[in-house]
Structure 1
Amino acid sequence: MDLDAYVLEHAGQWQRLEQLTRRGRLTGAEADELVEAYQRVATHLSVVRTQAPDAQVVAYLSVLLARARTRAAGTRVGTWRAVRSFVTERFPAALYRLRWWWLGCLAGNVVVTGVMMLWLLAHPDVEQSLLSPAEIDQLVQEDFAGYYSQYAAGSFATQVWVNNAWVTALCLALGVLGLPVLWLLFQNMANLAVIGAIMTRNDAGLQFWGLLLPHGLLELTAVFVAAGVGLRLFWSWVSPGSLSRSRSMAREGRTAATVALGLVGVLLVSGLIEGFVTPSGLPTWARLAIGVLAELVFLAYVFVLGRAAVRRGHTGDLGADLLEDTVATRA
């Protein structure tokens, strides 16, 4: 690495950060600029330390960053700007760019679950091999409906949120391996098909769908999003396209992290619906309407806000100013 060329290339940015740290009161735009400049210079320091550890340059950048960090701690403007950008640009752009992956998971799982449920309804002997008549009666008469009302709504919503977050995290974390994600989806859908077939056979189909769909539409969509993004991460090293495998995986890995963070909020909404709406005394049509509305809002978020963000150049990945710095080299 040519350290002199690197210093010459970035000296202007370092001087600008130094100017911002010495100013009295910063405007909102200057506070944003301070945070962004701090992130860039932190990358510069990392590059210098690993590629050309010159003591003088390292000391200068370390002191500069310390002052900038102290100054940035006094303002939250940049933080709120980053949150707003994430919610309105990065997360919806990631969902829209990867839409065919998770929509494919959604469609495939709906078809598989439907086929499995119909097959189970046509083969009652399979049901009898899984559960005894007493266990089936317990499930239909008490356990299924009781599951949604056995805890206080607040604690139940928290429990559901944590559990669903864990499932989506597994789909994302195991996505790079491919097959484990498909196995998780199969287990989830098989369990749903078995319970649905049992409830339907015992004339409790309306109760089954009336309790499942209000929260399940959004909840399962979140799981399918996580699975689709996980499978895209797997495909990024199988078929990296014009990028190297490492760069392809790095890009999709960062996008997967964006989706994981955003799905925390989506699952919070589905958990609140499951905790407060599903077991409520509202008529079935009202509970279903709330579930459908939540799903439509999510889809509008993806296909309206997400498409607009993609058209503005967002992909769900980090901004170019936060990515690894390009090191200047001497020919």
Structure 2
Amino acid sequence: MATIVSAPDAQQALETAALKSDRFRLEREADWVRLEDIVTKMEKGKTRQLSDDDVLALPTLYRTLLSSLSIARESSLDAGLIDYLEGLALRSYFMVYGTQTSFGRWLKGFFSGGWSQAVREIKFDIWIAFIVMIAGTLIGYALVAGNSDWFYALVPANMADVRVPGATEQALRGTLFGAENQDGLGVFAAYLFSNNAQVAILAFALGFAFGIPSILLLIHNMALLGAMLWVFAQRGLSVEFIGWLSIHGTTELFAILLAGAAGIHVGRSIGFPGAQSHLTAASNAGKRAALVMVGVIIMLICAGLLEGFARQLINDTGMRYLVGGAMLLFWLVYFFVFGRRKAELPS
């Protein structure tokens, strides 16, 4: 049988609850106000205005707030008070457990070991991407060697110009050593950077589908290179073509290799999370791969400059190999030797 509560009793219960809530607030409000003031200053980047006592008190005030929030929920206190405490708890969490660092400090950590560490952590995926890229080059070369019509299916018309099956040695040599319009090199570099960045970003972004689209994109992109290599090889210009490509290619292809590996890493983590949950594995892989991709963009900028300027200005094959080899050596040393003993980049 339902219990009927009289109006006076209900009014008394409400007054008691209000009194209890007010007493609860008065006993702890000073700590909440102090914590909110500290958090607000930190959010506004005014950490230097905090005293040593405030910094040391932050963890204690945060734990006290969580205790107050727990009591407020269990006692069914004022809903507005609970909302306030929950909001303050969320803001405080990021200040207590989040890494507070300036952009300059982050950038220093990125270049002094964070980027290279992230690359080393996806080393297995780099090997997969490397094998796939080699296979793609061989596939493109073999297809065009078997039937030259494949060249037109693999290579866009705007990239081929005179570099097509049946071109004469003189015409092909002219594309490798011919004089270029120096005034247009800056625009050319910007165009090439944009094109290469799209390939790299796609190779990374498509990785979520278990890495399969990333692998297919790498194969297609390298098949194009294999097709072009066959055209020059037929006229005995393989060495010259590879030298022409090496100035920017050792950096550009390395960047695409890392982007593809980052995409494969994400896809592999989703498909085979191991002891972790799928969500946790994907999150960790995504953070690692995103860090690699920041570096990939930097590499593509370098490749764009090399392709738009150095490749056009250096017409000696030996010097081209020297520049390309030096860039390759630099990246290998940076990624796999440098920064091994450095602290990991703060997240």
> Common fold, TM-score beyond 0.5?
yes
The one of 26, 30, 45 aligned to 2:48: 26
Q: Which residue of 1 aligns with 2:186?
A: 154
Aligned-partner Cα distance in 1 for 2:205–2:264: 10
Residues 306/104 of structure 1: CA separation in 2 closer, same or farther (3 Å cut): farther
Residues 239/167 of structure 1: CA separation in 2 closer, same or farther (3 Å cut): same
Residues 272/14 of structure 1: CA separation in 2 closer, same or farther (3 Å cut): farther
Q: Which residue of 2 aligns with 1:174?
A: 206
Residues 118/19 of structure 1: CA separation in 2 closer, same or farther (3 Å cut): closer
The one of 87, 97, 102 aligned to 1:78: 102
For 1:267-298, what per-residue CA distance to the aligned partner results, in whole angstroms no more than 9, with x for missing partners? 11111111111111442111221111111111
Higher relative contact order (CA 8 A, sep 6+): 1
Task: For residue 85 of structure 1, give the secondary structure of its aligned residue in structure 2.
Answer: helix
Aligned-partner Cα distance in 2 for 1:186–1:251: 27
Q: Which residue of 2 aligns with 1:98?
A: 122
* Cα displacement (A) at 1:149: 4.0
Q: Does 1:223 align with 2:256?
A: yes
* Cα displacement (A) at 1:213: 1.3
* Cα displacement (A) at 1:219: 0.7
| Paired positions, count | 277
Residues 242/78 of structure 1: CA separation in 2 closer, same or farther (3 Å cut): same
Q: Does 1:241 align with 2:265?
A: no
- 2:194 is matched by which residue type in structure 1? V
Aligned-partner Cα distance in 2 for 1:254–1:207: 40
The one of 126, 130, 148 aligned to 1:127: 148
Q: Which residue of 2 aligns with 1:110?
A: 134
Q: Does 1:301 align with 2:334?
A: yes
TM-score, normalising length: structure 2: 0.66
Q: Does 1:198 align with 2:231?
A: yes
Q: Does 1:136 align with 2:165?
A: yes
Aligned-partner Cα distance in 2 for 1:169–1:147: 32
- 2:48 is matched by which residue type in structure 1? L
Query: Where does 1:245-324 land on structure 2 (aligned, <5 Å)?
Result: 245-309=278-342, 312=343, 314=344, 319=347
Question: Mind listing any 5+ residue stretches in structure 1 that lack a counterpart?
Answer: 69-76, 320-331
Residues 15/264 of structure 1: CA separation in 2 closer, same or farther (3 Å cut): same
Task: For residue 107 of structure 1, give the secondary structure of its aligned residue in structure 2.
Answer: helix
Q: Which residue of 1 aligns with 2:84?
A: 56
Task: For residue 202 of structure 1, give the secondary structure of its aligned residue in structure 2.
Answer: coil
Task: For residue 241 of structure 1, give the secondary structure of its aligned residue in structure 2.
Answer: coil
Q: Which residue of 2 aligns with 1:327?
A: none
Task: For residue 312 of structure 2, give the secondary structure of its aligned residue in structure 1.
Answer: coil
* Cα displacement (A) at 1:157: 1.6
Task: For residue 278 of structure 1, give the secondary structure of its aligned residue in structure 2.
Answer: helix
* Cα displacement (A) at 1:87: 2.0
- 2:165 is matched by which residue type in structure 1? I
- 2:126 is matched by which residue type in structure 1? W
Aligned-partner Cα distance in 2 for 1:235–1:166: 22
- 2:185 is matched by which residue type in structure 1? A
Aligned-partner Cα distance in 1 for 2:168–2:201: 29
* Cα displacement (A) at 1:59: 6.7
Q: Which residue of 1 aligns with 2:156?
A: none
261-270 vs 141-150, which deviates more? Answer: 141-150
- 1:136 is matched by which residue type in structure 2? P
Bigger radius of gyration among the two: 2
For 1:71-107, what per-residue CA distance to the aligned partner results, in whole angstroms no more than 9, with x for missing partners? xxxxxx8221111112223221110111121133213
Residues 101/18 of structure 1: CA separation in 2 closer, same or farther (3 Å cut): closer
105-114 vs 283-292, which deviates more? Answer: 105-114
* Cα displacement (A) at 1:253: 1.0
Aligned-partner Cα distance in 2 for 1:91–1:275: 26
263-272 vs 81-90, which deviates more? Answer: 81-90
Q: Does 1:185 align with 2:213?
A: no
* Cα displacement (A) at 1:192: 0.9
Is this contact kept in 1: 2:247–2:306, CA < 8 A?
Answer: yes
Aligned-partner Cα distance in 2 for 1:110–1:246: 32
For 1:211-235, what per-residue CA distance to the aligned partner results, in whole angstroms no more than 9, with x for missing partners? 1111111111111111111111111
- 1:92 is matched by which residue type in structure 2? S
* Cα displacement (A) at 1:247: 0.5
Q: Does 1:164 align with 2:185?
A: no
